[in-house]
Amino acid sequence: MTAIARLSQKPWIWSWFAAFVVWFATIVVTGGASTFGLSQAALTFAAFSIIVGIGQMFVITLGPGNIDLSVPATMTLAGTVALKLMDVDNAMIVPGLLVAVGIGIAVGIGNYALIKALRIPPIIATLSMSFIIQSTAIWTNRGLRIKPPSVLAEFTTSATLGIPNVAIVALLISLFAWFLLEKTIYGRWISAIGQSMPAARMAGIPVDGTRFATYVFCAVLASLAGYLLACFSGGAALNMGSEYLLMSIAVVVIGGTAVAGGDSNVPGIWGASLFMFLVVSMLNTYGLGAGIRLVMTGLIIISVILLAGGRQPGTR
């Protein structure tokens, strides 16, 4: 088998390929004038989708019906509460981060408690949960916009060696996620559960514990992304998570993770996140209106799925 043929077998190659094509199409129009700026912006904005996307991927890998709709609300609540606690004080950065992670853990526990104790389908459980979280965020926020501590604002908006800091954070999280999925027994358990829950149960895998840990992990990543995003954009806004609901699901699926579960891949998340941002910036570069831009984004997503999807028969 040649290298190219082997590469085209990889589920993540399509999203990388699509991202590269779009990147190239943009560069051609601008005449290479903003190559560096574009790449840097793409890495920065993709970083947030990557962090939430990885969490969502873990959940989706658990099998059909597993999806976390509380991601946007969790991001908003974590960002709001953390900024309120830090209150522009550089000394409070670590407590702020801990509180954000704590919120993530609490949301994850709440989500899984609903799924398990009330036997609610995950999609409805996390939806109801997100209503409650959103309300809490509205209640704590009160329309105030608190600035992030200066060190954090500086960290999230600047770059090291030309690579945006948030992208480095996303890379570290991705490496950790990849290690979890590929090299630990926990990762094997997730895939096994996604392929067949009854079989996993009979094989003696702690199904409940694994699912519980996965929902908590997803919520923690969402709250981390919220924390970083709030610092990056100079304050938490109540709608700051809203676009990440569709985004987190889209990057997972475009990235080549099986929606039916049991098969995930981390590199695809990067390709898909870069792709999603680059599509929007390409259409912006072409100077198209908001309406056309949305239509084009939708059509491009569907065509990528048409091209890349449906490779494995039997998946939903």
Partner 1 sequence: MKRWISADALRLAIPALSLTVLLAAVFWLQPRAMSYVGLNLLFNLAVPIALATIAQMLIVSVNDLDLSMGTFVSFVACVTATFLRDAPLVGVLILAGAVAVYAILGVVIYLRDLPSIVVTLGMSFVWAGLAVLLLPAPGGQAPDWARALMTMKPPVAPMAIVASIVIAIVAHLVVMRSSLGVLIRGVGGNQRSVERAGWSVVATRAAAYGLAGVFAVLAGIALVGLTTSADANIALRYTLLSIAGVILGGGEFIGGRVSPVGAVIGALTLTLAGSFLSFLRISPDWQIGAQGAILIVVLALRLLLRRVENWEKGR
Closest CB 301 distance from partner 1, rounded Å: 4
Tell me if 97 contacts partner 1 by CB under 8 A.
no
Q: Does 294 bind partner 1 (CB under 8 A)?
A: yes
SS3 call for 164: strand
Which residue from 41, 106, 127, 171 is in contact with partner 1, where contact means CB under 8 A?
127
How many CA within 13 A on the CB side of residue 76? 27
Q: Does 253 bind partner 1 (CB under 8 A)?
A: yes
User: Cα(first)–Cα(last) distance of the chain, in Å?
Assistant: 29
Contact call for residue 249 and partner 1 (CB under 8 A):
yes
Q: Does 313 bind partner 1 (CB under 8 A)?
A: yes
Q: Which are the contacts of 219, defined by CB distance < 8 A and separation ≥ 6?
A: 55, 68, 70, 71, 74, 104, 105, 107, 108, 111
Q: Which is nearer to partner 1, 31 or 313 (CB)?
A: 313
Binder among 64, 206, 234, 235 for partner 1 (CB under 8 A): 64
Would you say 76 or 223 has its CB closer to partner 1?
Answer: 76
Shortest reach from residue 240's CB to partner 1, in Å: 16
Smallest distance from the beta carbon of 306 to partner 1, in angstroms? 6
| Nearer residue to partner 1 within complex by CB, 77 or 167 | 77
Minimum CB distance to partner 1, residue 200 (Å): 19
Residue 250 interacts with partner 1 (CB under 8 A): yes or no: yes
Cβ-based nearer residue to partner 1, 37 or 298: 298
306 forms part of the interface with partner 1 (CB under 8 A): yes
Q: Which stretch binds partner 1 (CB under 8 A): 3-11, 43-51, 132-140, 145-153?
A: 132-140
**Rounded to 10 degrees, what is the CA torsion of 247, 252, 256, 257?**
-160
Binding to partner 1 by CB under 8 A, coded x per residue (else -) over 12-41, reads ------------------------------
Site for partner 1 contains 3 (CB under 8 A) = no
Q: Shortest gap between Cβ of 226 and partner 1 (angstroms)?
A: 18
Q: Which residues pair with 164 in a beta bridge?
A: 159
- Chain residues in the site for partner 1 (CB under 8 A): 64-65, 67, 69, 114, 118-121, 123-125, 127-136, 138-139, 246, 249-250, 253-254, 259-260, 289-299, 301-302, 305-306, 309-310, 313-316
